[in-house]
Amino acid sequence: MPIDDYTDEAGEKVRSRRGLWRLMLRLPTMRGDLQILAAKSHRLDALCAAYEDASVTLARLRKERHNADQTLLAEYRMICEEIESDVIQYCLTHDSSVSE
């Protein structure tokens, strides 16, 4: 997918949806809340899109392990973990039955 496809509003939705899927795989106990809250929350949408971006970059760096900057690899691993923590905290502090 060309980079331009990720820069418009439709691209943002695609990144958000892919990030949501990744988070649902990574955080299986929160799948239901994630699905409900993501449909209602622009903040969670943004976190999902950021997670997609960070996850894709981390996967690319892992593929290039022998050439990858290990500091950068560790940084993206930490970014993914921090976004996961933010998403968990968001789900725990927002009622999935209440619209935002």
Q: Is residue 89 part of a domain?
A: yes
Whether 100 maps to a domain, the answer reads no
Tell me which residue of 53, 3, 51 sits closest to 26, measured CA to CA.
51
pTM: 0.84
Q: Is residue 59 part of a domain?
A: yes
Provide DSSP, 40-85.
H-HHHHHHHHHHHHHHHHHHHHHHTTTTS-HHHHHHHHHHHHHHHH
pLDDT digits (tens, 9 = 90+) for 12-54: 899 999 999 999 999 999 999 999 999 899 999 999 999 999 9
**Number of separate domains in the chain:** 1
Full domain range(s) for residue 57: 3-93
Q: What confidence score (pLDDT) does residue 36 get?
A: 93
65 falls in which pLDDT band (50, 70, 90)?
confident
Q: Are 23 and 49 in contact (CB under 8 A)?
A: no
Domain assignment present for residue 99? The answer is no
Query: Does residue 98 fall inside a structural domain?
Result: no
